[in-house]
Amino acid sequence: MFKKIVLVYLISLLFNQFSLANIEIKARTAILQDFLSGEILYEKEPDRSIYPASMTKIMTSIIAFDLIKSGDLSLDEKFIISEKAWRLSTSGYSSMFVMVGDEVSVENLLKGIIVASGNDACIALAEGIAGTEEEFSIMMTSKAKEIGMQNTNFANSSGINDPDNYSTVRDIMIMSNYLIKEHPEFYKWFKEKEFTWDRTGGDPITQGNRNPLLYKNMGADGIKTGYLAVERYSLASSIERKGRRLIAVGSGFETKSSRSKESSKLLTYGLTNYDLVEISKRNEPFDSVEVWLGKTSNVKVYTEENIYKIIKKGQKKKLKAKVVYEGPIEAPIKKGQTLAKLMIVYDDEPIGEYDLLSIKEVKKVNIISRLMKSLNYLIWGDV
């Protein structure tokens, strides 16, 4: 046997060189992530504690989406509006304008939360799902821990003032990533610019989405604004362009205008200064390795996950993938057996390592064939 290393060079393209000056985002804390690769492109005190304000409503929506996905909740199910929920529609808060005793569908409540940022809709949904907002908040915090939000506690469903309702921009990014990845069909609601609710006993109410980036021609399709006097303005945002998605979260913007301008600046920075490279699609053949004493002389291998990498503009030629294994590999080989390693190298430095698995079973040849192959090897060497 001998050590086999196959170099698979990724497509090299020529790009104009960019001057990658560091940017400064005028916010107390901010983060930018490439969605497909998961890599962080910018951060500014990303683990600093914040009051997430209405960005809390992302988790409120996620709890409902998860229950719908599992079959424990339906969009046409209706919840009765309590006095507690109604009071938040009369106190100057962002509201859907529900009335006590109304029966409102889960779908309308969700759109009232996502588009109109209704605090009253949050309480109605929370009470309908968990009985009380307090119990619902426990569900929210439990879900946060489950998906890796290690510095978050939810004390209510809407994000209104409460010192025990806290998070970080990194955790909000993790939550946003989960939303987009696990509930793409519902995530589409976050880009809707207005919501009309045909309320009980009154004229229909139409309200616009508060996300300023939706009204710019930049491809933004979410996610959620926030404001508290103590925290100032915040925004979790996402943009998709030419198959590439970025997620940005910032908090502590001084003005509405600054929130819009700086969030746009951060997303644009990620698009214009970095390229996304697709290296491997999960469960699809990536390359092949040689087989010894098998009924086929080689077998294709694949990765169990999608592999993407982010690199600076104009640097694709520095990115390489190496298939490394001890081979040829002796049969029999089982389907799904790990046969090699995929090594990702950028500018001669390793940046990732992944298992490569056999795409099919390879049986060993019979005894006569094995003897002939061994004899040929002794006489002729590796042929």
pLDDT bin (cut points 50, 70, 90) of residue 9 is very low
Q: Which of 218, 253, 288 is the last residue of a domain?
A: 253
Residue 129 contacts residue 67 (beta carbons within 8 Å): yes
- In one-letter notation, the amino acid at residue 10 is L
Q: Are residues 82 and 210 in the same domain?
A: yes
**Selection from 349, 363, 341 nearest residue 319 by Cα:** 349
Does residue 320 belong to any structural domain of this protein?
Answer: yes
6 and 33 both lie in a single domain: no
- Please report the pLDDT score of residue 49 as a whole number: 98
* Whether 117 is catalytic: yes
Instruction: State the alpha helices, DSSP H only, in the chain.
Output: 57-70, 83-87, 106-114, 119-130, 133-146, 169-182, 184-187, 256-273, 367-380
Mean pLDDT check: name the lowest of 10-19, 56-65, 166-175: 10-19
d(CA 95, CA 124): 12
- Rounded Cα–Cα distance for residues 341 and 136 (Å): 45
The total number of structural domains in the chain stands at: 2
Q: 236 and 297: one domain?
A: no
Angle, alpha carbons 372-2-365 (nearest 5°): 30
Helix 106-114 crosses helix 119-130 at what angle (to 10 degrees)? 140
Q: How confident is the model at residue 246 (pLDDT cuts 50, 70, 90)?
A: very high
Cα–Cα distance between 136 and 352 in angstroms, integer?
40
Domain check: are 53 and 174 in the same one? yes
The model's pTM is 0.87
Average pLDDT for residues 305-310, to the nearest whole number?
94
Can you tell me the mean pLDDT for 291-303? Answer: 94
Task: Region of 232 please: left (phi>0), alpha (psi -120 to 50) or beta.
Answer: left
Arithmetic mean of pLDDT, 275-298: 94
- The whole-angstrom separation of Cα 29 and Cα 43 is 8
Domain membership flag for residue 258: no
| Longest CA pairwise span in the chain (Å) | 93
Can you give the pLDDT at residue 136? 98
- Residue 19 clears pLDDT 60, i.e. is over it: no
Catalytic one of 57, 111, 224, 309 = 57
What is the reported pLDDT for 18?
33
Express each pLDDT in 358-370 by its tens digit: 999 999 987 655 5
Residue type, 22: N
The CATH number of the domain holding residue 178 is 3.40.710.10
Same domain, residue pair 77 and 185: yes
Give me the CATH number covering residue 314: 2.60.410.10
Which of 54, 94, 263, 358 is flagged as catalytic?
A: 54
**270 lies in some domain:** no
84: pLDDT strictly greater than 60:
yes
Query: What is the per-residue pLDDT for 22?
Result: 76
- Distances in Å between the Cα of 155 and the Cα atoms of 57, 118, 190, 197 are 12, 17, 23, 28
Tell whether 105 and 200 lie within a shared domain. Answer: yes
Model confidence over 27-60: pLDDT tens digits?
Answer: 999 999 999 999 999 999 999 999 999 999 999 9
Same domain flag for 238 and 310: no
CA-CA distance, 119 to 87, in Å (whole number)?
10
Residue 82 appears among annotated catalytic residues: no
Higher pLDDT, 18 or 248: 248
pLDDT of residue 336: 96
- Give the burial string for 67-100 (b: 16+ CB within 10 Å, else e): bbeeeebeeeeebebbeebbebbeeebbbbbbbe
Q: What is the pLDDT of residue 147?
A: 98
Catalytic residue selected from 37, 82, 94, 117: 117
Mean pLDDT over 330-339 rounds to 96
Q: Above 80 in pLDDT, residue 110?
A: yes
Could you list the residue range(s) of the whole structural domain that residue 246 is in? 29-253
* Structure confidence by residue, pLDDT tens digits, 205-230: 999 999 999 999 999 999 999 999 99
